[in-house]
Amino acid sequence: MTSLKNLGWDDFFQSQLKTNETLIPGRISTENKTNYFVHTEFGEIIAEVSGRLFFSTESKSELPKTGDWVLLDYFEDEKKGIIQKVLERKTKLSRKAAGSKTEEQVFAANVDYVMIVHPIDESFNYNKLDRQLVVAYQSKAEPIVVLSKSDLCENIDDILQSINDNHNVQLIPTSTVTNEGIDKLKEIIEIGKTYVLIGSSGVGKSTLINKLFGKDILKTQEVRSIDNKGKHTTTHRELIVLPTGGLLIDNPGIRELQLWNSEDGLSQTFGEFSEYEDQCKYKDCTHTVENGCAVLFALENGEISQKRYENYLKMRKELEYLETKQNDSAAMNKKKKWKNISKEIKRYYKDVKDQNR
Ligand SMILES: Nc1nc2c(ncn2[C@@H]2O[C@H](COP(=O)(O)OP(=O)(O)OP(=O)(O)O)[C@@H](O)[C@H]2O)c(=O)[nH]1
Ligand SMILES: [Mg+2]
Ligand SMILES: [Zn+2]
């Protein structure tokens, strides 16, 4: 059984407990359709969310997610629990939910490091890496870039150099075939710290976790065939406690990583832009057509790369569009709320009138 501390419990969470707290703390491992697997001091238990918690949350993102610390009523005989409260999150990894809804999807909570797993090959997708970095920085956890399948790559140094040119982030080439980087990863993974692995399907996240665990505990894709392409092998998130300590969260491959309120993450990932943006003539400069735009000037002078400029603008536009949609849906909710209130008021007066009759 693992101690709370080894599960990531610290003063930040301790300070959220009442003095005479009767509920027990637990950490969400897996979110199932109707219940959760939760790590506790008493081992892994199955728990459900209480009706009160379910109905008091305003959005789905407030319900427990993998990595969350929760407080539960614990029923020892059945090894079951009822989740009464989600503790405040230290960090959270969010994206816009897939589909047309303007909704936040939290896919991991309270992680210390985001391991972005990216296969290293000639067709390395820098734009995708930038997007993942934006999401990682926004979460307030620290990113680490794991360059997987290094056994299949010949020009590793060139790619490392290109990433280093734009980012100040730890880069670890790994291979589960040659074992390159595996010891390095084992070395950096600390007891009681949480690492979430993100990346597209098939990049080798689960294989890597199996390697670090020292046993095949997770299902991995067997052979890569054409009709297997795009098929997700991992279908749920799971928080795994390594035998050597350290907590890893496996994720299903992410097909579409849409941004959710990531302004800070964006400026951190595109550090070179903020320097110029401050010098633009107009405060609300779009850096596209304006006279006196320092970003365009830097682009012309080759101080900013064309590729990064395009990717940056794309993500900025995505965030602006999201903001408009959020305002729209906030206005709609407000309207709905007032409609309900005026309905209630009408009903109240009708009742009063009826009573006086
Ligand atoms: N050559 C090579 N292949 C690898 C390496 N690591 C993983 N693979 C292979 O890549 C395929 C995908 O690995 P998975 O671990 O299932 O990938 P995943 O990221 O967990 O994928 P999803 O669960 O679908 O998100 C498997 O066939 C692995 O054997 C590596 O270092 N080198
Ligand atoms: Mg997997
Ligand atoms: Zn500008």
Same domain, 53 and 169: no
Residue 105 domain-assigned (yes or no): yes
Q: Per-residue pLDDT averaged across 121-134, rounded?
A: 93
Measured in Å, residue 264 CA sits from the centre of ligand 3 at: 18
Residue nearest to atom 7 of ligand 1 (CA): 204
**Given pLDDT bands bounded at 50, 70 and 90, which one contains residue 171?**
very high
Q: Do 159 and 229 belong together in one domain?
A: yes
Among all bound ligands, the one having the nearest atom to the CA of 146 is 1
Going from the Cα of 237 to the center of ligand 2, the distance in angstroms, rounded, reads 9
CA of 235 to the centre of ligand 2 (A): 8
Q: What is the pLDDT of residue 334?
A: 73
Task: Say how many domains are in the chain.
Answer: 3
Residues 63 and 98 in one domain: no
- Domain end marker among 55, 86, 117: 86
Residues 151, 63 share a domain:
no
Is the CB–ligand 1 distance for residue 234 below 6 Å?
yes
- Indicate which ligand has the atom closest to the C-alpha of 232: 1
Domain shared by 38 and 53, yes or no: yes
Q: Is residue 261 part of a domain?
A: no
Query: Is 57 within a domain?
Result: yes
Are 97 and 82 within one domain? Answer: no
- Return the pLDDT at 100: 81
Does the Cβ of 139 fall within 6 Å of ligand 1?
no
- Nearest Cα residue to atom 32 of ligand 1: 149
Q: Is residue 329 part of a domain?
A: yes
The pLDDT of residue 123 = 86
Q: Answer whether residue 263 is part of any domain.
A: no
Same domain, 198 and 223: yes
Residue 170 CA to ligand 1 center (angstroms) comes to 21
224 plus 283 within the same structural domain: no
Residue where a domain terminates, one of 195, 222, 250? 250
Q: Of 66, 86, 106, which one is at a domain's C-terminal end?
A: 86
Tell me the ligand closest to 274's alpha carbon: 3
Q: What is the 3-state secondary structure (H, E, C) of the chain?
A: CCCCHHHCCCHHHHCCCCCCCCCEEEEEEEECCCCEEEEECCEEEEEEECHHHHHHCCCHHHCCCCCCEEEEEEECCCCEEEEEEECCCCCEEEEECCCCCCCEEEEEECCCEEEEEEECCCCCCHHHHHHHHHHHHHHCCEEEEEEECHHHCCCHHHHHHHHHHHCCCEEEECCCCCCCCHHHHHHHCCCCCEEEEECCCCCCHHHHHHHHHCCCCCCCCCCCCHHHCCCCCCCCCEEEECCCCCEEEECCCCCCCCCCCCHHHHHHHCHHHHHHHCCCCCCCCCCCCCCCCHHHHHHHCCCCCHHHHHHHHHHHHHHHHHHHHHHHHHHHHHHHHHHHHHHHHHHHHHHHHHHHC
Average pLDDT of span 316-344: 81
| CB of 269 shorter than 6 A to ligand 1 | no
Instruction: Count Cβ neighbours within 10 Å for each residue of 31-66 and write b for 16 or more, e otherwise.
Output: beeebbbbbbeeebbebbbbeebeeeeeeebebbbb
Ligand 1: nearest atom to the Cα of 201: 25
Which residues are placed with Cβ below 5 angstroms of ligand 2, an ion? Answer: 205-206, 233-234
The CATH number of residue 18's host domain is 2.40.50.140
Percent of the chain with pLDDT over 90: 76
CATH number at residue 100: 3.40.50.300
- Is the pLDDT at 356 greater than 80, yes or no? no
Q: Are residues 101 and 245 in the same domain?
A: yes
Q: Are residues 55 and 71 in the same domain?
A: yes
Does residue 176 have its Cβ closer than 6 Å to ligand 1? yes
Q: Could you report the per-residue pLDDT of 45-90, keeping only the tens digit for each?
A: 999 999 999 989 888 899 999 999 999 999 999 889 999 999 999 9
The number of the ligand 1 atom at minimal distance from the alpha carbon of 221 is 16
The answer as to whether 138 is a domain residue is yes
For atom 6 of ligand 1, which residue has the closest CA? 204
Whether the CB of 220 sits within 6 Å of ligand 1:
yes
Nearest-CA residue for atom 30 of ligand 1: 149
Question: 207 lies in a domain?
Answer: yes
Q: The whole model's pTM is what?
A: 0.90
48 lies in the same domain as 171:
no
Tell me the residue range of the domain where 29 lies: 5-86
Task: Evaluate whether residue 260 is within a structural domain.
Answer: no
Whether residues 185 and 142 share a domain: the answer is: yes
Probe residue for ligand 1, chosen from 198, 203, 213, 221 as the CB with the greatest number of ligand atoms within 8 Å: 221
Q: Is the CB of 211 under 6 A from ligand 1?
A: no
Q: What is the pLDDT of residues 242-272, one digit of tens each?
A: 999 999 999 999 888 999 999 999 999 999 8
